[in-house]
């Protein structure tokens, strides 16, 4: 007849040795953007019959935590660049927007206007650039901001 063991004996003789065999890494946390690969090398562990493991297929992952950065160049109807904060007699201006990396879902709702101005005719040139028309409805300072 098998001999009974206490819970503390079970922990010492069965559970602790099993836990020592396990190697569970912490969650993967990346500090910087870039490519990461995860591999399991061959011959690092065995199955219950003692067979060594084969190597895994490589898992590739690219981590991107860099915010897209927009830059805006504004010009008048003649194509002359207008400096930020400048005063002009133009009732509309052309804005060319370039973004530092490809984006999706870009539309006029990303902009807010204060003063007597608005925007129209947003054209997505590609996934990193767009153009739009800035319109003055009356004299005064118009401020456009991206949200």
What is the overall mean pLDDT for the chain? 82
Nearest to 97 by CA among 87, 88, 108: 108
Q: Is the pLDDT of residue 18 over 60?
A: no
The predicted-structure confidence for 84-132, as pLDDT tens digits, reads as follows: 888 888 989 999 999 999 998 888 888 888 888 888 899 999 999 999 9
Q: Is the pLDDT of residue 14 over 70?
A: no
pLDDT bucket at 74, cuts 50 / 70 / 90: very high
**pLDDT over 90 percentage in the chain:** 27
3-12, 15-24, 93-102: which is most confident: 93-102
pLDDT bucket at 133, cuts 50 / 70 / 90: very high
CA distance 18 to 75: 71
Nearest to 96 by CA among 116, 126, 61: 126
Nearest to 88 by CA among 142, 144, 146: 142
Q: Which residue has the higher pLDDT, 132 or 7?
A: 132
Tell me, what's the pLDDT at 19?
55
Tell me, what's the pLDDT at 131?
93
Q: How much is the pTM? A: 0.62
Site of tokens 């650039």: 129
């Amino acid at each position: 007849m098998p001999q009974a063991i206490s819970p503390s004996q079970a922990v010492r003789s069965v559970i602790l040795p099993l836990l020592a065999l396990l190697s569970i890494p912490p969650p993967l946390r990346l500090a910087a953007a870039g490519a990461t690969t995860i591999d399991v090398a061959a011959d690092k562990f065995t199955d219950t019959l003692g067979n060594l493991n084969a190597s895994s297929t490589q898992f590739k992952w690219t981590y991107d935590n860099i915010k897209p950065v927009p830059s805006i160049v504004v010009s008048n109807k003649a194509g002359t660049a207008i400096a930020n904060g400048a005063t002009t007699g133009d009732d509309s201006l052309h804005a060319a927007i370039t973004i530092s990396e490809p984006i999706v879902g870009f539309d006029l709702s990303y902009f807010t206007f204060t003063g007597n101005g608005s925007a129209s005719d947003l054209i997505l040139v590609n996934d990193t650039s767009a153009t739009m028309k800035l319109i003055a409805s009356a004299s005064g300072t118009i401020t456009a901001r991206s949200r």
